Each structure stands twice: as C-alpha cells, then as structure tokens.
Amino acid sequence: MFIDECTIKVTAGDGGRGCSSFRREKYEPMGGPNGGDGGRGGDVVLVGDENTNNLIDFKYKPHWKGERGEHGMGKDRHGREGKAAELRMPLGTIVTDEATGRVVAEVLEQGQRIVLCQGGNGGWGNTHFKSSTNRAPRRSNPGEIGESGTYRLVLKSIADVGLVGFPNAGKSSLTQRITRARPRTAAYPFTTLHPQIGVIDYPETYDRLLLADVPGLIAGASDNRGLGHRFLRHIERCTLLMFLIDMAGVDGREPGDDYQTLLDELGAYDAALLAKPRVVVANKMDLAAAAEHLAAFRGQHDVEVLPISCETQDGLTALKSTLRMRVEEMAAVPVAGAGDVNPINTDES
C-alpha cells in the first residue's frame, strides 16, 4: 500500500524531577544536600531516509512519544536523558502544523535530522539551592513538560524525471524496460494505482537517475477526476518531465490532443510545471498507424520527439542517453528560491 499523506500526533518526553536529599553518613551529621538533577526528556526527531518511499509506517502508528527523563537521585546522581523518538521519513516529506497551518519542516536529504518537538529540561536537585543562608534546602524542581503537537505529513517524491501520460500509454511498460522497478502492467487502463519510483542505471559511468511514474492523467485531473490528481504533487520536485504519448492512437485518441490535454492539466494544477524542461516520447512505434500519427504530431507541435517502442525496445538506449544529458544540463543551472522553507530546528549531531 502506498500512503503519501497522513496525520501524526507527537509528544516529546517530560524532564525528570530533581531530587531533594541529604548526606546520611557516619560521622557526617551535617553532610548537606546532595540531590541530583532530573534527566532531560527525549526529543521527537525527523530523520531523512532514502530507503523509505512512503508514509505507511505513520498511517498505522500515528502516535509517537519521546522517553521521559529519569528522576534525579541522592548522592548527586543525575537522571539519565530520555531516548529520542526517531521518525524515519522518506525524502521529500513536508511537515505542517495542524494548529497553525504553517510548514515547520521539510525533509530533503539522506541523514538529515530535524527536531520536531523538544523534550523538557530536567528539574534541579536541592544541591542547586544551597547558599550561605540556607545550608539545608529542601527545595527541588519538577521537570518541564515536553513539547507536543499534531502534524500533517505530505510526501512529494524527489526524482530526476517525472513520467506523465494518459492511461494505457505504456508508462508502466517503459518503467519496467529502463529501470529496476516492476509496476503492474495489463491491457487495460489504470493498472498503476500509485506512483512508482524506479532507478535508471548507467553502468558504463556508474551514474543513475530516479524516475517517478505517476498514475495516468485524464482530462479534468486538476479538478479531481480520475487518479492522477492525487499524485500530481509527486512531479513538482522532478528536474525533467517526460511526456509519454500513445502515437498509435490505440484507444481512438489523437496523439496531438493527448499532449495538449496533458499540458492543460499540468498548467491548471500548477503553472510552474509548464516551465520545467520536458521530453516528448512517442511510444508504440511498432504499430502500423504510428508513423502517420507521428508526422501529424510534428506538424501540430514544434517539439523534439523521441520515437520508441516498449514492445520491441527500439529507441530505449537513445532515450536513456537523452534523459541523462538533459538532467545533467539542468543540474548545472542554479535553482531559484531554493531553501525557502526553514526547519524549526536542525540537529547535526
């Protein structure tokens, strides 16, 4: 099951109580205070994990809590700090405070650590309150209460290439051919029910690209029709968009109309998507009507088209090379507006 949106409730650990005690040793009738401090409560920490690809762990376990700090003890023994609750998040997760609607954190890098809720400080033992006028203080502090809150998690997959197209255009077949992912394929539309993340390998240079296969879009997807509207957010972070067009018109659709509809839906969802670089790929070129449709398509749209066939695997090598070249070109261009979201606290330790 693929979960890309859920709500969690988190509570950091409370600080331990300070201890009020006195030395009670032989020949030490006036030993003085020796109460230790309480330990600090455990934080709730978000940890970026590239080996996690969805939020299913938090869908079925929405409550997370840091460990309470240990109470202080006599003989100046301080309480142990509580263990932090570490929430391993897929890269691309946005965390929003449900109470304020404010984005408080964004997990983007492997190993990134963000303190979502801080644990309470431990209370002081009575040793801290000793003075020249109060030689036997009986005062100690309780531990502070840890922070808590309710947060909305939304996953926007981080990939180099976002694959979009109509149902039954061959997206899953293409994903199987050029990556190690194995999405379900069948001779009917909507076989892909959630985004698939695949890795395109380049053994000769030891490079790789991440490909996000988004479930098929249809006309009206931006208005919540079909399945694609739920997953359009997953192509927002992609460096390059790959439009896969059924050039044979197997379902009776015109390839040129399909391409224009995809552009319209992406623009209606977020106009910024139309500014992303794109590659148009003509699939099913092994079928008889594809050549005629390709000629008509090129007459309608002034774009470069890469003809392929997932069935015969023709053109796939050239496609992989083009994808790598285009992504490398974009990697050399600085990204405007990077770093706009500031996490509330980042722990680099």
16 is written with which tokens? 């331990």
Q: Residue 130's pLDDT is what?
A: 92
The DSSP element (H or E) to which 97 belongs, if any, is strand 93-97
Give the tens place of pLDDT for each residue, 244-299: 999 988 777 788 988 998 898 888 888 888 888 999 999 999 998 899 999 999 98
pLDDT in the model for residue 3: 81
Question: Which residue, among 279, 327, 322, has the nearest Cα to 304 in the 3D structure?
Answer: 279
Give the list of residues 6+ apart from residue 267 with CB closer than 8 angstroms, or none. 273, 274
Question: What pLDDT was estimated at residue 7?
Answer: 95
Cβ–Cβ < 8 Å for 37, 74: no
Query: Looking at residue 143, what is its pLDDT?
Result: 93
Q: Look-up: residue for tokens 């359009």? A: 232
Chain centroid to CA 98: 18
- Name the 3-class secondary structure at 280: strand
Strands 5-11 and 148-155: antiparallel
Altogether, the residues listed in the chain come to a count of 349
Q: For residues 189 and 182, what is the distance between their CA atoms, to the nearest angstrom?
A: 17
Please name the helix (run of DSSP H) or strand (run of DSSP E) that holds residue 240, with its range, or none.
strand 240-246
Q: How far, in Å, CA of 311 to CA of 314, rounded?
A: 8
CB atoms within 10 A of CB 230: 17
Residues contacting residue 243 through CB under 8 Å, at least 6 positions apart: 164, 165, 259, 262, 278, 279, 280, 281
Sign of CA pseudo-dihedral 337, 198, 53, 167:
positive
pLDDT at 266: 86
- List the domain boundaries for the chain: 1-155, 161-331
Q: Which CATH superfamily is domain 1-155 in?
A: GTP1/OBG domain (2.70.210.12)
> Could you tell me the two tokens for 25?
């040793």
H or E segment to which residue 2 belongs: none
Rounded distance between C-alpha atoms, residue 279 and residue 224, angstroms = 25
pLDDT reported for residue 335: 46
- Strand pairing partners for 45? 86, 115
The closest alpha carbon to 214, from 239, 198, 196, belongs to: 196
Residue 152: predicted pLDDT: 94
The DSSP secondary-structure symbol of 127 reads G
* Cβ neighbours of 211 (radius 10 Å): 25
Instruction: Report residue 219 as tokens.
Output: 């006309």
- Return the pLDDT at 186: 45
Which ranges of the chain have pLDDT less than 50? 184-193, 221-222, 226, 335-344, 346-349
Query: Which residues touch 93 (CB under 8 Å, ≥6 apart)?
Result: 46, 55, 106, 107, 153, 154, 155, 156
In this predicted model, what pLDDT tens digit does every residue of 231-247 receive, in sequence order?
A: 777 788 888 999 999 99
Q: What is the fold of 161-331?
A: Rossmann fold (3.40.50)
Tokens 């020949």 belong to 27
Closest Cα to residue 61, out of 5, 116, 114, 8? 8
